[in-house]
Structure formats: structure tokens, C-alpha cells
Amino acid sequence: AQTVTQSQPEMSVQEAETVTLSCTYDTSESNYYLFWYKQPPSRQMILVIRQEAYKQQNATENRFSVNFQKAAKSFSLKISDSQLGDTAMYFCAFMKRDNAGNMLTFGGGTRLMVKP
């Protein structure tokens, strides 16, 4: 079974600054995906960024980038130029990769507050 741990229950950052959210995971699988999802107060879970474990290059999506350390089983999210709209819960999630759909295993979440 997989486990995902987010050690920072809450974080805050000033608008326009950079913040890094931490995530560690444990698995015996060699082929998997890792995700960061954003959940604003509206509750809609929105995909922020995805990393495939076989890819060494870290994924980036505009202001969002990850630091994927496979050997250390670490997957942190960096948000650059933070905006007020980034205020939300952020969840790290693991999915085993095969040809079928697979469940997501989520961490406990980090509440991010962006301050003006």
C-alpha cells in the first residue's frame, strides 16, 4: 500500500513571493504518477501539475514547478510569484501507473494562505 505525507498543515506567503510545499511518499511501485491538486473553498479539486516517475526532468506549469527526488521519495511544489488566487488547500497524490485507471492516494493537505 502507498502512503503520502504532507508535513506542513498550514503555510502563508506574501503576494509575489515564492513558497515551497513539501510531500513525501512511500511505495514499492516503480512506475507511477505524482500529482499536486488545488482545492479552493468551492471544493472543486483542480489539477495543478503532474509528474511521471520515469521522467527525470521536473515538471513545470507556468508559475508552478516541482522538485522530484525519486530516490528520496520526495515531491515538493514550488509556487513562484504567489497570487491571491493561489489561496487554497493543496494535496499531494500518488497513482500507480498501468493501462487501467487507478485510485489516487492523497496526503493530508497543506492550507496555503497568500497575504496581500
As measured in angstroms, the least distance from the Cβ of 53 to another protein is: 13
> Residue 63 carries which side chain, given as an amino acid letter?
R
> Binder to another protein among 33, 76, 80, 87 (CB under 8 A)?
33
Region binding another protein by CB under 8 A among candidate stretches 12-20, 35-43, 61-69, 72-80: 35-43
- Return the range that interacts with another protein (CB under 8 A); candidates 17-25, 65-73, 79-87, 90-98: 90-98
Q: Which residues contact 2 (CB under 8 A, 6 or more apart)?
A: 25, 26, 27, 29, 94, 96, 105
Query: Are the CB atoms for 110 and 89 separated by under 8 Å?
Result: yes
Chain-centre distance for alpha carbon 62: 15
Query: Which residues on adjacent β-strands are paired with residue 92?
Result: 36
Q: What residues numbered 47-86 form the site for another protein, per CB under 8 A?
A: 47, 50
Provide, rounded to whole angstroms, the least separation between the CB of residue 26 and another protein: 15
Count of positions on this chain that bind another protein (CB under 8 A): 26
Rounded distance between C-alpha atoms, residue 39 and residue 80, angstroms: 18
* 91 near another protein (CB under 8 A): yes
